[in-house]
Amino acid sequence: MAWIEIVTVIALLQYIVFGALVGRARGKYGVSAPAVTGHEMFERYYRVQMNTLELLAVFLPALWLAARHWSPAVMAAIGMVFVVGRTVYLRSYTTDPASRSLGFGLSIGPTVILLIAGLIGALLAATS
């Protein structure tokens, strides 16, 4: 399970970095807390952070559930696709929000795969 722990830490560190980028954007674009609107570039960074948080709430439990029933190394590799997807999402969304589809797909796809793997694993365990 060490690979699952590593992917978990990487995903959480990535989220912290995204939060720091939001803080930097606040200063750069003059958006004082608690405002979450005011400059389009700030809003782009903020939306990336919030979208990442929304997905982490599903991704992390899915990662751990899937790894409980299937090869942790394989599940960790799938999890790393999520992390890469989040980076692609950040870059594309802050450049041109209309180009975010690839990054989103590389984030939601692995999450759904992990959820399904966790469910199948649990169903197999429940019936054996």
pLDDT value of position 9: 98
Whether 96 is in a domain gets the answer: yes
Q: How many domains are there within the chain?
A: 1
pLDDT value of position 116: 98
| DSSP letter assigned to residue 34 | T
pLDDT value of position 67: 98
Q: Can you list the positions of beta strands (E) in 49-102?
A: none
Overall residue count recorded for the chain in this entry = 128
Which residue shows structure tokens 């589809």? 101
- Per the structure, the complete domain to which residue 32 belongs is given by 2-123
Separation of CA 95 from chain center: 18
Other CB atoms within 10 A of residue 101 CB:
11
Average pLDDT by stretches of 10, the chain with 128 residues = 98 98 97 96 98 98 98 98 98 97 98 98 96
Whether 128 is in a domain gets the answer: no
Q: Using CA atoms, how far apart are residues 23 and 100, in angstroms rounded to an integer? A: 22
Could you tell me the CATH number of the domain that includes residue 94? 1.20.120.550
